Amino acid sequence: MLSIRKIGVVGRTYRHLNRYRQILTILFKYGYGNLVERLKIEQYLEIGLQLISRKRRERLERLSRYQRLRMAFEELGPTFIKLAQVLSSRPDLVPVPLLAELAKLQDKVPPCSFEEARGVLEEELGAPLEDVYDDFNPVPLASASIGQVYQARLKNGDSVAVKVQRPGIRKIVEVDLEIMLHLATLMERHIEEMAFHRPVKVVEEFAKALEKELDYLTEAGNGERFARNFLTDPKIYIPAVYRSATTSKVLTMEFVDGIKISDVDAMLAAGVDPHIVVNRGADCILKQIFEHGFFHSDPHPGNLFVLPENVICLLDFGQVGSIDQKTKEDFVDLVDCVVNRRPGLATRVLLRLSLWDEEPDLRQLEKDVDEFMNQHLFVPLKDIRMGKLLQDLLELAAQHRMRIQPDLFLMMKALGTIEGIGALLHPDFDMISQAEPFIRKVKLNRYNPRRLLQDLFQTAVDLKHFSQQFPQDVLEITRLLRQKKLPIRLEHHGLPDLLATHDQISNRIAFAIIIAALIIGSALIVVSDTPPLFYGISLIGIIGFLAAAIMGFWLLIAILRKGKL
């Protein structure tokens, strides 16, 4: 597990200060100096902040703040690049306009030396490299922030691709995560408008996602699950995992020499039909979503290869998503309502698929959904682009401060990616028509006799548990009441405003009474000629009248400022 702790006095180690200085310098450089200043970070990092030279900041006025943030993440290194990639699929955590910008980040960094990678390999496999692999190419095929991939050959002659984790990456990630957590805590404490995006929760969710990505055994398990799901489908190929040469930091999989799905010329030269490839690729993703409920969430061209006879090969199973039956059915209902122009029902389904802190205005939401349908659906069905439709629907939800569930967004993103590939290979490709049989199957499955029996049986089981548990709960409540141990929590809304108004009224009455007392007291003093006298009038009485006049004007001004007499 990643070891992450809050940075306090003990945590102000050199590794934190040095890295903190780098992070703050880059944030200043890309125009986020005002943000750093609002965090009031100098009290936590006195030395680090003093080392930053304001002269090093670059002026990037032509770029949007989200473009600058993407560039800053790119320069900040592996952990921040991964954070951007994770956030690009989390509309529940970041603003919608930022999603597309973060998705542009390329996870390509210079490779580490082969000797460093060899050290990780031999330590993880517990044997010299030559004892495990018959041949190992020291030049990496690809290099990313977390690991790099090599081509090799096992002792049995099988050609394999070996993914090796970068040495020391876990410690680098832990330091960056601790700094991220500290910055997120300061954001929630000092920047009110950041509260809605919950930066501390963002860092915590990112830590969970990164923990999975740092464990290659999880990716190996995902690949094996996909292989089982497509075991009887000859049109889809999943590379085999070699468990004997796989650990949490080393992943050995079958090497596949195929054609990148976006390389149309190479496909035509190899006798591959792009139209068949498009249909099979789309069916592959649709089957994962609507039948398996477990899908590849990043099916970009680099992760999809084409093999002879139009076979589709999936690669890289580090990013996956899952969707339960209820969410799947709700999504189908949403698509059905949108296509058939039923804004009222579509609004209710959208609410079921979303998360929110405060319930949105239902009337305004339904009006916006109706307008959304008018913009998109008065065109022939084949001209509707599912990717664009889902993206605009996501933005509509964000306008009402609703957050789409992460796995649902991953599913929408996967469908949009496949639609984009389909348009590249086949200009007349229609994703809606391709998905129609799968959607119809999900709708009909609700009324399948076996499904109805399962639902009826589950309802009976739930009723049985309820009938057994309910009397026990009643007895427990009665016992707590008898012993006067039942805690009661009252929640009031609007009471602080009422109390503040009450205090204001009380203060004004008390103020008025004091003014009246001053006037009456001063009048009595003047009448009684209490010395000292000023032109025959009591000086104390005059001072009392002046104090009453000043306080009276003060009270009048306070009332006029409120706008109510």
Q: Indicate the SS3 state at residue 315.
A: coil
Angle separating helix axes 78-87 and 169-190, nearest 10 degrees: 60
| Among 428, 445, 448, 453, CA closest to 332 | 445
**Three-class secondary structure assignment of 368-433:** HHHHHHHHHCCCCHHHCCHHHHHHHHHHHHHHCCEEECHHHHHHHHHHHHHHHHHHHHCCCCCHHH
Beta bridge partners of 539: none
Q: Indicate the SS3 state at residue 196.
A: helix
Instruction: Characterise 242 by phi-psi region: left (phi > 0), alpha (psi -120 to 50), beta (else).
Output: beta
Q: Which amino acid is at 320?
A: V
Using CA atoms, how far apart are residues 11 and 17, in angstroms rounded to an integer?
9
Q: Which amino acid is at 346?
A: A
Beta bridge partners of 163: 149, 251
Contact yes or no for 147/165 (Cβ under 8 A): yes
The token pair that represents 41 in the structure block: 């970070």
DSSP annotation of 241 reads B
Using CA atoms, how far apart are residues 164 and 118, in angstroms rounded to an integer?
9
Q: Are strands 159-165 and 236-237 parallel, antiparallel or unpaired?
A: unpaired
| Among 64, 66, 73, CA closest to 98 | 66
> CA dihedral defined by 107, 109, 113, 118, rounded to 10 degrees?
-10
Using CA atoms, how far apart are residues 360 and 22, in angstroms rounded to an integer?
41
Using CA atoms, how far apart are residues 378 and 267, in angstroms rounded to an integer?
36
Using CA atoms, how far apart are residues 125 and 95, in angstroms rounded to an integer?
43
| Among 77, 9, 18, 73, CA closest to 43 | 9
Catalytic-labelled residue, pool 283, 298, 333, 407:
298
Instruction: Reply yes or no on whether 455 is catalytic.
Output: no
| Among 462, 430, 401, CA closest to 339 | 430
Catalytic residues: 298
